[in-house]
Structure formats: C-alpha cells, structure tokens
A and B are shown apart, each in its own frame.
Chain A
Amino acid sequence: MNSINQIKKIIVDKPLKLDCGKIINNFPIAYETYGALNEKKDNAILVFHALTGDQFVSGVNPITKKDGWWSYAIGPDKAIDTNKYFVICSNVIGGCMGSYGPSNIDPTTNKILGTTFPVITINDMVNAQYNLLDFFKIDKLFCVVGGSMGGMQVLQFINNFPDKAKIAIPIACTASHSAQNIAFNELGRQSIMADTNWLNGNYSNENSNPDKGLSVARMAAHITYLSKKGLQEKFGRKLQKRDNLQFSFDADFQIESYLRHQGSVFVDRFDANSYLYITRAMDYFDLIKQHDGNLSKAFIQSKTKFFIISFTSDWLYPTSENKDIVIALNAIGADVGFVEIESDKGHDSFLLNVPEFLGTLKNFINTSYSTN
C-alpha cells in the first residue's frame, strides 16, 4: 500500500470532541475532488460514503485500481455531472483510506492504534468532514448526498449545520438503526473477533490479519445488500464449473463461489478494525433519540430542500424507514420530495446502473441548481 502516501489529506488542527468524550487533535482527513469549484463557489457537492466506501467516488481508484464506487452516478455528463459541479468526498474517520482510523500509528508508542482508537459515531464523522468546507473556503454547499451510511451522514449534517447546504439527498437510509441492522452488524463483528488472528485488534503490530473473519463478515453483509429475487435470478441453483454435486463442502453452487470471491477481494482493501468501528458508528446512529423521539426537531432550523429516494427491493433500509424521514419533514412543512424506485437489485441499487434512479437524481440536482 505504498500509494496510500499519495492520497490527498488535510490535517485538522482544530480539536474535535468526540461523542465518547475523547478529544482528538491534528488528525488527517483524506479526500478527493472531481470537477472544478466555480467563482461563486455555489456548485460544491459533498458526497458521503457508505460503510466500505472511500473518497474515490469516480474514475479509477488509485489504490484498488478499480472503478470508483459511485462511477455510475458521478462523472462527466453523469447524474452528478463533474463538468458542472465540484464534487468532494472524504474518507470517514474510523476508515482505512487515509483518514484518522484504527490503522493509524500512535506517535507516542509508534504502534498501530488498533482497538485503542476511540469509538466514533456518525456525528463525529460529519463534524470531522465539516472541516473540508473551511479548507475549500466554501460558505455553503450546493448539495449533500449519500446512500446507506452516507445518507445517515446527510441527515446528521443538516441537523448539525442547518444552513450549510441548499439541497440534501439521503438515499436508501434510515434515521435510526433498527434491531435488524444492529443484528447483522454484530454478526460481522463477532465473525472478525472470533478469528484467532484478530489478536484483540492488535494484529497489525503482530504481522497477523483476521482475513477469514473479515471475509465471512463481508459475505454475510453482502447478502443483505441484495434481494432474494435478484439472487435467484442471477444464481438460482446453478453449479460452479461442475456438472454434479460433489458431496463435499467445496463451493458447489455459484452463489457460494460468488460470496467467497466477494469476501476474499474485500480483505485486500479493507481493515478489519475499521469494519468494527464503522459498523459500531452505524449502530449508535439514532437521530430520533437525539431529539427525544421527535425526528422533526432535527430539521426544524433548516431551509434545505430535501429529496429522499428508496428502492422497492431494499429490505435492509426499507421504504418505510425512508418514508419516516419524509413524514418528519412534512410535519414541519419542510420542502421535501420523495420517490421509491422500482428495482430488483436490493439495497445495492443506489450503487448500480439503475436508470430510473440515476435519471431522477440527475433531474432533481439539475433543476434545483438552475433555480439558484
């Protein structure tokens, strides 16, 4: 991972008090930008990434050499058109793509932080990323947008900084992590921690890596990102490069082989401790509780125009939970639009080539920008 040193970073010298009580100083935020900031500085879009995302939304990711995670949506002439808008995305704190996270070295001990890294929250992530506005001297963003955990950050951003974005687009997310969401995350964490190579989070200092645990965590999570129908159509009971069942525990079925592959490529690009910290941050997210049960209060200070998007086959962050945000906004007369997009691709729909979604996103962004 030599190229990790070429990642763009700001060092935040303003102390940040985390929700856990700890104060962090001089910490790095790794970021990437696409397109150009115009003279009026009114065309900036801040993108928040999901659990395993990073700052490389478009083009080729210089670390993984794969397409940026939101390449379908962001780029020249795409839904978020980088010929027109200045797109900023940064790696969340707790992450492993250059921002302050558990794989950073503790300068006092010269050892990798591991589980001595503080437990962080979505609120902490958003507060840390806010420093990018100062860095780019942007007074007000045109748009904040993100899917899944990125959507949660959008909601938290408007709550924390009510007048810092003209429009907000939370996609396939929730205002409060459900028991089912927490359960799946706990499954992933337990899988990592059950790997004997995890070494209580100290694996990097001991030249070890809980690959198997992290891989199983990814496999389990991956199932939750797809729909039953999508899986059935793509894989059914098709066998993997064989004509008959082998009466063994090899990957007889294509779906098994697919999941194993997803798990194995994931461990090459993701840090197991980051996975623990970020899933924890998601589980702690409850914007409704932050306002004593009244979600509307989160947005009452804001004049931001909202557009909320959900997907029919997303059972991880279902339409009903997205609609709760719409209802909370309508209750205070906020400017909010909402659409549920028809798709068989499950929660992952927002990352994939779903033309109705991409078209709607593009239309909303462009018509909102032209009414400046």
Chain B
Amino acid sequence: MKEEFRIIADLVEINTRVLDVGCGDGVLMEFLKNNKKINIRGIEISKDNVQKCVSKGLTVIEGDAEKDLTQFPDRSFDFVILSQTLQAFLNPEIVINELLRVGKKAIVTIPNFGFWKVRLHLLIKGTMPITKKLPDEWYNTPNLHMCTIKDFFNFCNTRKIKLDKSLSFHNKKTSLIKANNLNIKNLSAELGIFLIEK
C-alpha cells in the first residue's frame, strides 16, 4: 500500500491542487499531505469514511464520483487521483472522461486482472480469481469492470488519451510499461499506475 502511495506522490508535483476521487478513509490523502506540499481534497461515497477523514483534518465532501464530479469546473485541479476504484464504477468510461475534464492530469491505478496468478487461478481452478488485491467472491465483489493493464493501455490509445507515464508495480518494484513490453508487464505485474491527460 505504502509503496503505491510513494509512486503516486512522486507523480504529483508540489504546490498543486489535487483531488482524490473515492478517497476512502483518507489514508492516501494523509500520506500525500504529510509528504508533499500540495492542496488536497477528497470525494468519498461512504458516510463513515467521510467522518474518518474529517477526524484526520482532511477536506472531504460526501458524494458519488459518477454523479458529483460534475460540480467541479473544467481543469479545476492539477491532478485528480483514482486509486484502485475504477473497476467499481457502473460506467468507468464516463468517470475517466470526468477525471480528465476536472483535472489537468489524472493518476489512475488499477489492479491488473491479467496478472499471472489471476490467470492461473481461473485456468486451474476454473473459479473466479481471488488474490490479495482481489479478495472478494464473485457474488460480493464491488468490482464490476475488471480490466488488465493491456486493456487500460489500449483504452487510452484508442481514445487519444495521452499516457504520460505507465508504470507496473510488483513485489515493491516499479518499471515502465511500453508498447514493446506490454504483454510481459501485463502478465507479471499486480498493479498498473498511469499518469494520463487529454
């Protein structure tokens, strides 16, 4: 978790306005606030989590990212972060478009469904994969739209979304994803981290 936060912190520039979409209990916001001189806000759907954020002194509004991002003007944030929640939305495409409208740049991290352990689980066991990053059963998972690193990479390319930086993350190691190593990274990485802009 902390490692992923550090990578995100490295992507965010100082003295910028940042929005954490689906900020949960504010653990990433707190990390960024303590480690980087930025002005950070959050939007979170769960009342409990909003209250936890408030108790940490974080500025958070209760809201649904699929509906409530509309209230933010175009390019009102320098960075918009979506950490491991894209797969939980009813319509990820609309959310991505909103992120890129509200933010000058967006940082999106996704649990990679193409990771070899996930593939092997489905191949050998024939049941929906359960891993450390994907701990829920098929019937109670909040994840509606799982995708792979390759899916997201292609999604951006076909929509002319600029991939400023594509990183794969596994066993505390980060490396660049490029067109020529895409298939390997898609197999070997547990997490994809993308800095994108329109």
Which residues of A are at the interface with B, using a C-beta cutoff of 8 A?
Answer: 305, 307, 326-327, 330-331, 333, 335-342, 356, 359-360, 363-364, 367-368, 370-371
Of B17, B50, B54, B71, which is within 8 A of A326 by CB? Answer: B71
Name the 8 nearest CB pairs between A and B, nearest first: A367-B57, A338-B61, A363-B55, A327-B71, A339-B50, A339-B62, A363-B54, A330-B71
Given A327-B71, A333-B17, A333-B76, are A340 and B57 also a contact pair (CB < 8 Å)? no
Q: Which residues of B contact A307 (CB under 8 A)?
A: 54
**Most B-side CB within 10 Å, residue of A339, A340, A356, A359:** A339
Q: Which residues of B contact A363 (CB under 8 A)?
A: 51, 54-55
B84 on the A face (CB < 8 A): no
Of A327, A335, A342, A367, which is within 8 A of B56 by CB? Answer: A367
B47 on the A face (CB < 8 A): yes
Q: How far is the CB of A8 from chain B (nearest CB, A)?
A: 34
Q: How far is the CB of A343 from chain B (nearest CB, A)?
A: 11
Given A326-B71, A330-B71, are A337 and B51 also a contact pair (CB < 8 Å)? no
Which residues of B are at the interface with A, using a C-beta cutoff of 8 A?
Answer: 17, 41, 47, 50-51, 54-57, 59-63, 71-73, 76
Q: Please, how many angstroms separate the alpha-carbon atoms of A307 and B72 in the complex? A: 17
Q: Which residues of A contact B71 (CB under 8 A)?
A: 326-327, 330-331
CB of B59 within 8 A of CB of A359, answer: no
Q: How far is the CB of B141 from chain A (nearest CB, A)?
A: 25
CB of B47 within 8 A of CB of A339, answer: yes
Given A341-B47, A360-B51, A363-B51, are A336 and B57 also a contact pair (CB < 8 Å)? no
CB of A337 within 8 A of CB of B60, answer: yes
Of B17, B54, B73, which is within 8 A of A337 by CB? Answer: B54
Q: Which residues of B contact A333 (CB under 8 A)?
A: 17, 73, 76
CB of A336 within 8 A of CB of B55, answer: no
Which residue of the partner chain A has the closest CB to B69? A330
Q: How far is the CB of A300 from chain B (nearest CB, A)?
A: 13
Q: A338-B63, A339-B47, A340-B47 are in contact. List 14 more A-B contacts (CB 8 A).
A: A307-B54, A330-B71, A331-B73, A337-B50, A337-B60, A337-B61, A338-B60, A338-B62, A339-B50, A356-B47, A359-B51, A363-B51, A364-B54, A371-B57
CB of A370 within 8 A of CB of B57, answer: yes
Q: Please, how many angstroms separate the alpha-carbon atoms of A370 and B51 in the complex? A: 18
Q: How far is the CB of A81 from chain B (nearest CB, A)?
A: 15
CB of B57 within 8 A of CB of A368, answer: yes
Q: Please, how many angstroms separate the alpha-carbon atoms of A356 and B51 in the complex? A: 8
Q: Which residues of A contact B76 (CB under 8 A)?
A: 330, 333
Which secondary structure dominates where chain B touches chain A? Answer: mixed
Q: How far is the CB of A73 from chain B (nearest CB, A)?
A: 16
A and B contact pairs by CB, cutoff 8 A, 18 listed? A307-B54, A327-B71, A330-B72, A330-B76, A331-B71, A331-B72, A331-B73, A333-B76, A337-B54, A337-B60, A338-B63, A339-B47, A339-B62, A340-B47, A356-B51, A359-B51, A364-B54, A367-B57
Which secondary structure dominates where chain A touches chain B? Answer: mixed
Q: How far is the CB of B54 from chain A (nearest CB, A)?
A: 5
Q: Please, how many angstroms separate the alpha-carbon atoms of A342 and B17 in the complex? A: 30
Of B47, B55, B61, which is within 8 A of A330 by CB? Answer: B61
Q: Which residues of B contact A339 (CB under 8 A)?
A: 47, 50-51, 54, 60-62
Q: Which residues of B contact A330 (CB under 8 A)?
A: 61, 71-72, 76
CB of A367 within 8 A of CB of B54, answer: yes
Of A326, A341, A342, A367, which is within 8 A of B55 by CB? Answer: A367
Which residue of the partner chain A has the closest CB to B59? A337
Q: How far is the CB of A340 from chain B (nearest CB, A)?
A: 6
Q: How far is the CB of B50 from chain A (nearest CB, A)?
A: 5
Q: Please, how many angstroms separate the alpha-carbon atoms of A359 and B17 in the complex? A: 28
Q: Which residues of A contact B41 (CB under 8 A)?
A: 335
Q: Which residues of B contact A331 (CB under 8 A)?
A: 71-73
Q: How far is the CB of B15 from chain A (nearest CB, A)?
A: 15
Which residue of the partner chain A has the closest CB to B19? A330
Q: Please, how many angstroms separate the alpha-carbon atoms of A359 and B59 in the complex? A: 16
Q: Please, how many angstroms separate the alpha-carbon atoms of A97 and B51 in the complex? A: 36
Q: Which residues of B contact A337 (CB under 8 A)?
A: 50, 54, 59-61
Q: Which residues of B contact A326 (CB under 8 A)?
A: 61, 71
Which residue of the partner chain A has the closest CB to B71? A327
Q: Please, how many angstroms separate the alpha-carbon atoms of A341 and B59 in the complex? A: 16
